[in-house]
Amino acid sequence: MNPWKRWFGNKEPLDSTVPELDADNIPNHVAVIMDGNGRWAQKRGLPRVAGHHAGMKNVKKITMAANEIGVKILTLYAFSTENWKRPRDEVDFLMKLPLEFFPKEIDELIRNNVQIRMTGWEEGLPDATLKVIKDAIARTKGNTGLILNFALNYGSRKEMIAGMKAMLGDIEQGKISIEEISEQSFSQYLLTSELPDPDLMIRTSGEQRISNFMLWQLAYSELCFTESYWPEFTEQHFFDAVKEYQSRARRYGGL
C-alpha cells in the first residue's frame, strides 16, 4: 500500500507534496545541522536572534514530518561547544529558547508519543534551561515513538577526548583491558552510546562542513546539503532529502 495514503485523511494537510518514498528504506536516524538562522534574519533586515526564534518554530514541523514517514530518531544540532564564542546577547537568547519551546510544544509532542533526549554537556547551561529540558526528558521517558534528540552544548572532539579519558580510567581500574578497546567498546564511552549512528545527515544554509558534529558517528552516514536556511526548511525539503538518501548506494567500503 502506498505509505502516503494516510496523509490525505489529515485534517491539517501538510503544506507540501509528499514525494513517493520507499517505505522500506526510511533512514532510521536522521541528524540535522540546523544552520543559517542568522543569515535568514539578515536577509529580511531583522536581528540575528529573530532568525533563531524562527528556527525554533520550525523544529516541531520537521519533527512531525520525520515522525510521519517513520524516522525513529531525529537529532537536531542546536548549539555547539564552539557557539559559546558568539556575543553574550546571542548566546543568552539561544539559551532561553528551550524555555519557550518546551512549555509550548510538550503536550503535542507527548500526544505524538515523542521521546525527548539531549546529547551534550549539562555543565555551562543556565539552570532554568537545564531544568526545562530535564523536565521534558522525564515527562517523555516512557514514550515509545520518535526520539527527538537535541545536540545541545555538543562538540565531537570534546566528546571523543572525554570518552578516551573515561575509557583510560576504566583501564587503570582494571574494568577493561587494552585488548578490549574496539570500535564497539569505544562507542560506549561516547555521549551517543545509546543511539545508533545517523543514517542521513542534513545540513541547511549551503555550508558544506561538519562543524565538529558527530565526527565518529557520521563515518558512513549519507550527507545531504541544502541551500535553504533552517527557518525556511520545509517538510518538502525534508522529504526531498530522504528521497535523495534513498537514491544513494551505501557500500560501507564494500562493493
Size of the site for ligand IPE (CB under 6 A): 17
Quote the least distance from Cβ 18 to ligand IPE, whole Å.
26
The reply to whether 39 sits near ligand IPE by the rule CB under 6 A is yes
C-alpha cell at 29: 536516524
- Kindly tell me which of 33 and 50 has the beta carbon lying closer to ligand IPE: 33
Binding residues for substrate: 36-40, 48, 52, 80-82, 84, 86, 203, 209-211
Catalytic residue among 28, 83, 112, 143: 83
Alpha-carbon distance 135 to 141, whole Å? 10
The reply to whether 238 sits near ligand IPE by the rule CB under 6 A is no
- Kindly tell me which of 26 and 49 has the beta carbon lying closer to ligand IPE: 49
35 annotated active-site: yes
Strand partners, 223: 201
Binding residues: 35-40, 48, 52, 80-82, 84, 86, 203, 209-211, 222
C-alpha cell at 146: 520518535
Asked if residue 243 lies in contact with residue 19, where contact means CB atoms within 8 angstroms, the answer is yes
- The site map against Mg ion for 34-53 (x = CB under 5 A) is -x------------------
Alpha-carbon distance 92 to 111, whole Å? 30
- List the single partner that 197 binds among ligand IPE, Mg ion, none, CB under 5 to 8 Å by kind: none
15 annotated active-site: no
- Kindly tell me which of 26 and 117 has the beta carbon lying closer to ligand IPE: 117
Question: Which residues between 164 and 183 bind ligand IPE (CB under 6 A)?
Answer: none
Regarding beta strands 200-203 and 222-225, do their DSSP bridges make them parallel or antiparallel, or are they unpaired?
A: parallel
- Which residues contribute to the site for ligand IPE (CB under 6 A)? 33-39, 77-80, 83, 94, 205, 207, 209, 211
Catalytic residue numbers read 35, 83
